[in-house]
Chain A
Amino acid sequence: MKTLVLVEHGDGKVHDATLATVTAAGKLGSVAALVCGDGEEAAKAAAAAATVAGVDKVLLASGPAYAQMLAENVAALIVPLMDDYDALLCNASSNGKNVAPRVAALLDVMQLSDIISVEGDKTFTRPIYAGNAIATVESSDPKLVITVRGTAFAKAASEGGSAGVENVSGPGDQGLSSFGGCESVKSDRPELTSAKVIVSGGRALKDAETFKEVILPLADKLGAGVGASRAAVDAGYVPNDYQVGQTGKIVAPQVYIAVGISGAIQHLAGMKDSKTIIAINKDEDAPIFQVADIGLVGDLFKIVPELTGKL
């Protein structure tokens, strides 16, 4: 089978999630990587994609229409390319989820969302109902469009490949949408979906200031990424991209520390594949303790500063 992987990149580097998607694609057949972007950054990203182990070929679509991954333009680019491929794989990221279904509909195929394993050429498993059930599904479509849950696949090595880079062009700007900027806070912290350790805070953290004062020093000590429950995001303690869960980010670090989070199923859906879960909660019956490997019952405002001090 010939597969095409939509690459996500920034600063000329291939995102970790894409490396996991390359692994998933490799289970189906040969892997070509599509880099969409503009200018020097895209060219660098294409060069980086070419060294990813398992990538046979890199397609580079460069131009202002592709600079921001607008789904209208990127889907219009991918659809004709799919004449040559049997499967399109994207990360189950906000980008992949935005683009892949648009491509699927234009190809008249039903997308497989968020796959966690490849069971055969057309058979995959995927979580449904917030991960409370795992469905094994077989596609009957002539082509596959898939989004891949990055935490479920090992990352392909970013070095070792030596693919050629080929330029491709598409129909360009569809004239339907335009980019109006982004608000993102650059931080030096590890990115949630690839962090080895995550400290997450919930509603108990009171407000943005308290969240910062209590959670960040602990995260700093552990070199950890910082996450949050929906309640903490809704209340404005932290930005939306901190949300872990069914409808937020799916994470699986080595260690996940849940602070003042009750453990609603929607939250568990996003973190229960973490290797070790530590929970700090004053309610000994909080559902988070049912999944925690290590639990400490008590007041987080006493426990966390003491813990940070002693580490």
Chain B
Amino acid sequence: MKILVAVKRVIDYNVKPRVKADGTGVDLANVKMSMNPFDEIAVEEAIRLREKGKAAEIVAVSIGPAKAQETLRTALAMGADRAILVETEDEVEPLAVAKILKAIADEEQPGLVLLGKQAISDDSNQTGQMLAALMGRPQGTFANAVEVEGDSVTVKREVDGGLETVKLTLPAVVTTDLRLNEPRYASLPNIMKAKSKPLSAKTPADYGVDTAPRLKTLKVSEPPVRQAGVKVADVDELVAKIKALGIA
């Protein structure tokens, strides 16, 4: 079986995002960019499935600017076999991303598509579910454990009430949660090797997908800032404060 993994280039999770003064968005100039952390988990899971003999080939896909090549090279260095960059300088919304991934899935016929549950930039948490819908296939979102057996995949999901398990008929779409695995670091030799792995360049037009946004961003603003309050000296003072709040 082939596994398709979607990886997005986003602001590094250690960077505190700053809103642009003109209110048009978040300042990404000269900011460290990395692979979306949930997507690293997706790549790792794909590699583990291949190591267990459940998958034969891993194809990583990214939709984004030319620089997203770096993100794909990271996926290749971790262990993906080849990569597809769908290049566009425009911001592409989850629906259009899902349409492009659907077109790629039609060509590649993967048994499993792995995505992150959420891009830490737009925080949409949509793309995997949308892709599953467009493919007419089942979805295992927020995966905590994934087991492929025969023609089905069992996904343990992190849900509001704890964990739940669903069994899906392959092909299926799975989105990763934080506890699924701990992604490996790419070793230096693997980073070197990744440079010669195949990476094909495409455009949204190659897949006939219109990426014009459906949502118009009218404004991006700073959230209200919280002021730091007081520090109390000891537990007695804290007790007095808590009592004053009327909760004890």
Interface positions of A (Cβ within 8 A of B) = 68, 70-72, 75, 93-95, 97-106, 108-114, 123, 127-141, 174-185, 193, 196-197, 221-222, 230, 233-234, 239-241, 246-247, 249, 254-255, 265-266, 272, 276-278, 284, 289-297, 303, 306-307, 310-311
Contacts and interface: CB of A to CB of B under 8 A. Distances in A.
A296 B229 CA distance: 11
Interface of B is mostly: mixed
A294 B241 contact: yes
B231 A297 contact: yes
Interface string B148-165: 000000100111111111
B190 interface: no
Contacts, number: 263
Interface in B224-248: 226, 228-232, 234-239, 241-243, 245, 247-248
A234 B41 CA distance: 14
Contact of A105 (B26, B134, B162): B134
B35 to A, nearest CB: 16
A101 B125 contact: yes
Contacts of B234: 296
Interface residues of B, number: 82
A182 B59 CA distance: 32
A179 B243 CA distance: 46
B120 A75 contact: no
Contacts of B98: 105
Contact of A233 (B120, B179, B220, B232): B179
A266 B139 CA distance: 26
Contacts of A131: 223
A307 B247 CA distance: 14
Given A113-B125, A266-B13, A295 B248 contact: no
Contacts of A181: 164-165
B74 interface: no
